[in-house]
Structure 1
Amino acid sequence: MTKNVLFIISEWGYWGEELIGPLEACDAAGYNITFVTPNGKKPTPLSVSCAPGYIDPPLGRGVTSEEMGAKTTRVHESDRLDSPKSLADWFPLRAYPSSPTYLRDMEAYYQKIDKIIAEELVNYDAMVIVGGSGALIDLANNSRLHELILGFVKLNKPIAAECYGVTCLAFARDFREKKSLIWGKHVTGHPIDYDYLDGTGFEGPHAIDGSKKGFGDGYINFGPPFYPLEFILRDAVGPDGAFIGNVGHQTSVLVDYPFITSRSTASSVECGRILVEVLEKGLTRYGW
């Protein structure tokens, strides 16, 4: 039976290769792909991930090849990402504790979540959370995405997360227990050594001037990233888990089932290959 995979993509700028790597692997395996964005808007690739020869400041080398830049542009200019599934329309929003009907609201909330898991998520075989700086804004602390991740964990289905997308795994937790899902796990992700000191940018269909051309001029620079992901991951895994950055190694992909974590751009193709191995060969441990 053909497998079905969800691809979760930020609306504030994804890194092209971090979509293309897993996507090509899933396409080659004949999987059905469903793209999901927070509000159902077409996602925008970060311009530098389409620009061959772009030099990554911390690494001091080019990270966008001619081939990957062209592939990212082709996918973006096609109609493939035009109508993604809306996470906001799919999953309910958790009630505020200040609601006068909070207990009844939460009962209804969990009934809806349980129904989605039992009737809809069972039809999917894996999830990919695409990386890029946009994940800092609308994926990392997205409670709807956290519930989607929790649903996959309950169903024991694999979740692949790349770069800043790994933050979603650190923040996803049962709202009643508030303990990270990756507690005790081995994960990789964007290490502090690779964080920008300046130039963390975001791009998308949002516009200050009301147009559809991005942030007025199509790009906004927030300097360094909002948070040091490595430190968050080290805390989230606890004393029995481990953050493994593999700094100095060209790639870093770990499997500590059900989680597949990928460090950054150069690891994207490997991440896709390993995801297929998890689905086809039952791989449960890799890279540690």
Structure 2
Amino acid sequence: MSDTQSALFVVSEEGYWAEECIEPLSALESAGVDVTVATPSGAAPEPDERSLDPESVGEETAERYREVAGSNPALTDPVPLAAASAADHDAVVFPGGHGTVWDVNQDRDARQLLLDAVAGEDGVALVVCHAAGILAFTREADGSFLVEGREVTGFPNAWEADIVDDDDVLPDGRKLPYWVEDEVVAAGGLWDAELDADTSVTVDGDLITARGPGSSEAAAETLLDALDL
């Protein structure tokens, strides 16, 4: 591994949340970190249009996110997850968005990247928002859940309830297959989304988790601290 630090971003092809990918990516690149993006098939990912709503994020921010999403070389030319290795990077980052519940969270290669990132003394993983669902599907070699007994945060049920309808259907018409908080807790995670706090970032060893929108910048700062940058 070269002296320049590197990070692998594992990004959903089903719609990633722009802030949760672009804020950490921009922060790491500004700090001199080489960023590689991996997606399940190797296709260029697209942000969830809801995360680009000017009324929610502001026109200037929405325009910046669109510009980065469409022009950042890492995002426009990703590698397939199966071709990525955590050992080649100092950090592995899992941005959130509802899209992750359909692909990244249950992808065997993504789960292995997470396991490898937090194994041993080298490496660190940052898992944001709905991507925390991957913790509910990732098992150690002995069959135990990676998240069992770990303190984590992520996208809370209280927020999910304000988005889906009574049949768990999202505004875009897709039915949510599971709720992230429920699955992580069932897998033994010590969940606290700190609903009374403006931001929520939790560090447990080499695993950093972030609640969701609004916590991305704090999560990036925490990751940079972990990388001594």
* 12, 15, 21: which one aligns with 1:13: 15
Q: Does 1:83 align with 2:77?
A: yes
List aligned pairs for 1:220-231, cutoff 5 A.
Answer: 220-223=172-175, 225-231=176-182
* 146, 159, 162: which one aligns with 1:194: 159
Residue 66 to residue 273, structure 1, CA distance change in 2 (3 Å): farther
Q: Does 1:279 align with 2:216?
A: no
User: Does the 8 Å contact 2:37/2:78 carry over to 1?
Assistant: yes
Q: CA RMSD in A?
A: 1.8
User: Does the 8 Å contact 1:17/1:68 carry over to 2?
Assistant: no
User: Does the 8 Å contact 2:8/2:86 carry over to 1?
Assistant: no
List aligned pairs for 1:162-241, cutoff 5 A.
Answer: 162-174=128-140, 176-195=141-160, 196-198=163-165, 200=170, 220-223=172-175, 225-237=176-188
Q: Which runs of 5 or more structure 2 residues have no equivalent in the other structure?
A: none
> What letter is aligned with 1:200?
L
User: Does the 8 Å contact 1:261/1:271 carry over to 2?
Assistant: yes
Deviation at 1:200, TM superposition (A): 2.7
Deviation at 1:79, TM superposition (A): 5.0
Q: Which residue number corresponds to residue 54 of structure 2?
A: 52
Equivalent-residue separation in structure 1 for 2:59 and 2:197 (angstroms): 22
Equivalent-residue separation in structure 2 for 1:169 and 1:279 (angstroms): 22
Equivalent-residue separation in structure 2 for 1:186 and 1:227 (angstroms): 21
* 68, 73, 77: which one aligns with 2:61: 68
Deviation at 1:163, TM superposition (A): 0.5
Q: Which residue number corresponds to residue 261 of structure 1?
A: 209
Q: Deviations over 1:14-51 (max 9, x none)?
A: 00000122112201211000000000000010111111
Q: Deviations over 1:223-279 (max 9, x none)?
A: 5x32121122222235xxx21111132211111121110111110111111100111
| 3-state secondary structure, aligned to 1:33 | strand
Equivalent-residue separation in structure 2 for 1:36 and 1:48 (angstroms): 22
Equivalent-residue separation in structure 2 for 1:246 and 1:151 (angstroms): 28
User: Does the 8 Å contact 2:90/2:124 carry over to 1?
Assistant: yes
List aligned pairs for 1:34-49, cutoff 5 A.
Answer: 34-49=36-51
| 3-state secondary structure, aligned to 2:9 | strand
User: Does the 8 Å contact 2:157/2:180 carry over to 1?
Assistant: yes
Equivalent-residue separation in structure 2 for 1:227 and 1:51 (angstroms): 25
Q: Deviations over 1:55-82 (max 9, x none)?
A: xxxxxxxxx2334312210012215222
Q: Which runs of 5 or more structure 1 residues have no equivalent in the other structure?
A: 55-63, 92-119, 202-219, 282-288
| 3-state secondary structure, aligned to 1:265 | coil
Q: Deviations over 1:179-235 (max 9, x none)?
A: 11111110001111000223636xxxxxxxxxxxxxxxxxx4225x32121122222
Q: Which residue number corresponds to residue 136 of structure 1?
A: 101
User: Does the 8 Å contact 2:13/2:43 carry over to 1?
Assistant: yes
Name the % identity. Answer: 32
Aligned pair count reads 220
User: Does the 8 Å contact 2:10/2:81 carry over to 1?
Assistant: no
Equivalent-residue separation in structure 2 for 1:186 and 1:68 (angstroms): 32
Equivalent-residue separation in structure 2 for 1:272 and 1:153 (angstroms): 17
Q: Which has the larger radius of gyration?
A: 1
